[in-house]
Structure 1
Amino acid sequence: MLDQATILDGGKAVALTFAGGEQQRFHAIWLRDNAWDETTRAPGNGQRLITLGDIAPQTHVSAVSVEGGRLQVTFQPEGRTISYDARWLAENGYDRDHAHAPGWTAPEIETWDASLGDRIPLADFKAVQQSRDELARWLHGVRRYGFGKLVGGPTESASLLKVADLFGYVRETNYGKYFEVRTEVNPTNLAYTGLGLQAHTDNPYRDPVPTLQILYCLENSAEGGENMVVDGFRAAERLREENPRGFDLLTRHCARFEYAGSAGVRLRSRRPMIELAPDGELIGVRFNNRSAAAITDVPYEDMADYYAAYRRLGEIIDDTAMEVTFKLAPGESFIVDNTRVLHARKGYSGAGSRWLQGCYADKDGLLSTLAAIEMQPREAAE
């Protein structure tokens, strides 16, 4: 896999040529910091045993060689030779064009609209409980599309906690470990009425926002009440294509969100409606008309255009060509990436019953579980 290694710039870097002719350059300080020898990393968990301050600022490479497909690097002034796995270096190379247009998405993400059709990530509850392969297949779909559905689950109260147990832990909030979604008298939240709800992300007034939401159906004989999901990333892409300046305004300026519906609770946050990482990666959408507070962080000169972009984003989200709709039966549930996918509900009548339960969890647990399953074949091969 690794054919050749050459010292560059008096030892400040090395150039590697991999099988097939691909070349990558690595700085000496980067290589030393990312060594996996027993004095740099703990064998059991891979955590670093040293700080950057323990590595000499004048660290450089005095010799390199390729032996048995591994890279051997001798560092000075330590006078130590450290071995590197060629595949790891190839996977973690950074010598590439890092330029991206603002709003780019990671390779493992696929944006979608109503044309997603029957490609909804769908799995049987018992199957994902019993099979790591089935669980991985479903979690892979959730990572790719930002939501997924489970069928064939139990219909006892609190069954949704078993969904969270598949990959992580429940994130408890002021609503408790889980909350009831059914009509209430004098509700503390409009979700507890029969009203239709615009597509939204949940709890935008929290910092950090819950990154996953699970909704689980226990009863559903009422007329209406269908669930809808909308890909906020695709909505942001559409806005960027139509109105680059409006997209820029919604990413550069913070909106404000607030919730004070329960005694002793007053939650506030200040975040952009469309959030980008420093390198322009699209990493989050916060959109919730019910919880929007006064926007005060946009300059006067930009406010009219900001509101025009805000309005257009809402119109895109409301476009039926963006939505995937389904009705949950008892024992069915769905999960959404609350940093990306907006969910909604059509209004329903007082006849019959509609009882869902909801809870929050964290995406890092889901991604960790998926990554651990995906790494098992490689670890077994090694």
Structure 2
Amino acid sequence: MRHDVEILDDGKAIALTVSGGQVRRFHAIWLRDNAWDETTRAPGNGQRLITLRDIPVETRVSAAHCTSGQLFLTFAPEDRVIAYDIGWLADHAYDRTGRRAPGWIAPQIETWDASLGARIPQADFSEVVHSRTALAAWLSGIRRYGFGKLTGGAVESGCLFKVASLFGYVRETNYGRHFEVRTEVNPTNLAYTGLGLQAHTDNPYRDPVPTLQILYCLENSAEGGENIVVDGFCAARRLQAEDPRGFALLTRYCANFEYAGSEGVYLHARRPMIELAPDGELVNIRFNNRSTAAITDVPYEDMAEYYAAYRRFCDLIDDPAMEVTFKLSPGESFVVDNTRVLHARKGYAGAGSRWLQGCYADKDGLLSTLAAIELQHGKAM
């Protein structure tokens, strides 16, 4: 297609016609800072070789033309000609009309409820070990839905580390490199009892919070003990649709979370239960009734409404219509996005045994592995 470029405001910006005939404006300083020539970016890793201070304050575009899908700009006062891929510029355009409403989510994310059913992202362990395509498909499902299952693993202590190594590294905490999830006498955490657990995110008292949790089943002959997952983003958006004011209160004010169950350990964090990025993107859910401390950052005049919204958020999370339930068999595991998906467990009886091992990892490793495979294949999986 034909691409046209026009210099604006005496070279301080340009207007570029991209795909579909859309016109996108770019500032000269942004274009110079995002140049990909060999003196600005390191070949291979793409890291910048210059700082913003190396770019003249009076930078402007003195000449511009398009040819063969590329934009050629001459920058003054450097008198430097730099080429840009027009497709890259179109993908990274920031000249957009309208603002997104608070609570928007990234396009790769799909919210869900109990109707998710058989669409649970699931893969066989040996398949994802030997096939990068299968691994990418599974990781893509976790990115989209916030959790995924693996079947066909060995029934051996420590196998959860093999799951973590598929995409990243274990994040060690005061619970150790991993933790055992089975009934204990005088446990330091209610997870180590046979009691049912309300849907929750783990470790909200940490900052930063572990962004992934891995649970690996070694024994599960006890009656009950099914795993439950709930999409916190879906619950938050339901609350927003029902009660915009309540949603705003849970995003505006910090809650307090704390843990002091082990000797020498006292963890505390202040964060909203529903966290938005500055541009309104829904990015994090922190919800754990067991670890919520006294909430003190809400003004008196808002506290009653805050608690009403908190109660409704609880109701939505506990709604059976929000739950996806499954029972892990020995050798099976699941990975959960701890910034989005809440997990729970039904109570189980003393007869039989239930032994899971858990550990934490970080989502940046998972997303990095997925992005690298997608880049290698030249497309999103």
Retained in 2: the 8 A contact 1:164–1:361? Answer: yes
Greater mean alpha carbon deviation, residues 4-13 or residues 287-296 = 4-13
Secondary structure of 2:150's counterpart equals: strand
Retained in 1: the 8 A contact 2:167–2:365? Answer: yes
Retained in 2: the 8 A contact 1:211–1:361? Answer: yes
Retained in 2: the 8 A contact 1:2–1:86? Answer: no
Paired residue for 1:208?
A: 208
Matches within 5 A, 1:223-234: 223-234=223-234
Greater mean alpha carbon deviation, residues 70-79 or residues 83-92 = 83-92
Per-residue Cα deviation, 1:146-171 (whole angstroms, up to 9, x for no partner): 00010011110010000000000000
Secondary structure of 1:137's counterpart equals: helix
Per-residue Cα deviation, 1:8-67 (whole angstroms, up to 9, x for no partner): 111111111124312211110000000011111111311111111111111000101112
**Letter of the aligned partner of 1:162 in structure 2?**
K
Distance, in Å, in 2 between the alignment partners of 1:271 and 1:114 is: 28
Distance, in Å, in 2 between the alignment partners of 1:2 and 1:230 is: 48
Q: Indicate how the Cα distance of structure 1 residues 159 and 374 shifts in structure 2: closer, same or farther if over 3 A, else same.
A: same
Paired residue for 2:322?
A: 322
Distance, in Å, in 2 between the alignment partners of 1:72 and 1:232 is: 46
In structure 1, stretches of 5+ residues that fail to align are: none
Secondary structure of 1:316's counterpart equals: helix
Q: What is the Cα deviation at residue 6 of structure 1?
A: 1.4
Say whether residues 1:370 and 2:344 are aligned partners.
no
Q: What is the Cα deviation at residue 119 of structure 1?
A: 0.5
**Letter of the aligned partner of 2:181 in structure 1?**
V
**Letter of the aligned partner of 1:69 in structure 2?**
G
Paired residue for 2:8?
A: 8
In structure 2, stretches of 5+ residues that fail to align are: none
Q: Indicate how the Cα distance of structure 1 residues 203 and 12 shifts in structure 2: closer, same or farther if over 3 A, else same.
A: same
Retained in 1: the 8 A contact 2:148–2:336? Answer: yes
Matches within 5 A, 1:153-232: 153-232=153-232
Q: What is the Cα deviation at residue 175 of structure 1?
A: 0.6
Say whether residues 1:73 and 2:76 are aligned partners.
no
Provide the TM-score with structure 1 as the length reference. Answer: 0.98
Distance, in Å, in 1 between the alignment partners of 2:208 and 2:21 is: 44
Distance, in Å, in 2 between the alignment partners of 1:98 and 1:110 is: 22
Say whether residues 1:130 and 2:91 are aligned partners.
no
Q: Indicate how the Cα distance of structure 1 residues 269 and 19 shifts in structure 2: closer, same or farther if over 3 A, else same.
A: closer
Q: What is the Cα deviation at residue 78 of structure 1?
A: 0.3
Per-residue Cα deviation, 1:133-192 (whole angstroms, up to 9, x for no partner): 000000000000000010011110010000000000000000111100000000000000
Per-residue Cα deviation, 1:272-310 (whole angstroms, up to 9, x for no partner): 000000011000000000001000000001111111111
Paired residue for 1:28?
A: 28
Secondary structure of 2:30's counterpart equals: helix
Paired residue for 2:102?
A: 102
Retained in 2: the 8 A contact 1:250–1:310? Answer: yes
Matches within 5 A, 1:320-359: 320-359=320-359
Per-residue Cα deviation, 1:308-338 (whole angstroms, up to 9, x for no partner): 1111100000000000000000000011100
Distance, in Å, in 1 between the alignment partners of 2:318 and 2:285 is: 15
Distance, in Å, in 1 between the alignment partners of 2:75 and 2:307 is: 57
Greater mean alpha carbon deviation, residues 121-130 or residues 43-52 = 43-52
**Letter of the aligned partner of 2:96 in structure 1?**
R
Retained in 2: the 8 A contact 1:7–1:15? Answer: yes
What is the identity percentage for the equivalent residue pairs of Structure 1 and Structure 2? 76
Q: What is the Cα deviation at residue 378 of structure 1?
A: 2.6
Paired residue for 1:51?
A: 51
Say whether residues 1:276 and 2:281 are aligned partners.
no
**Letter of the aligned partner of 1:87 in structure 2?**
G
**Letter of the aligned partner of 1:44 in structure 2?**
G
Per-residue Cα deviation, 1:190-244 (whole angstroms, up to 9, x for no partner): 0000000000000000000000000000000000000000000000001101111
Retained in 2: the 8 A contact 1:2–1:70? Answer: no
Paired residue for 2:42?
A: 42
**Letter of the aligned partner of 1:322 in structure 2?**
M
Provide the TM-score with structure 2 as the length reference. Answer: 0.98
What root-mean-square deviation, in Å, do the aligned CA atoms of Structure 1 and Structure 2 show? 1.0
Retained in 2: the 8 A contact 1:121–1:147? Answer: yes
Secondary structure of 2:14's counterpart equals: strand
Secondary structure of 2:238's counterpart equals: helix
Distance, in Å, in 1 between the alignment partners of 2:237 and 2:314 is: 13
Matches within 5 A, 1:298-317: 298-317=298-317
Per-residue Cα deviation, 1:112-144 (whole angstroms, up to 9, x for no partner): 000111100010011000000000000000000
Say whether residues 1:288 and 2:288 are aligned partners.
yes
**Letter of the aligned partner of 2:368 in structure 1?**
S
Distance, in Å, in 2 between the alignment partners of 1:40 and 1:67 is: 22
Secondary structure of 2:219's counterpart equals: strand
Q: What is the Cα deviation at residue 251 of structure 1?
A: 0.3
Say whether residues 1:62 and 2:62 are aligned partners.
yes
Q: What is the Cα deviation at residue 2 of structure 1?
A: 5.7
Secondary structure of 1:3's counterpart equals: coil
Retained in 2: the 8 A contact 1:2–1:16? Answer: no
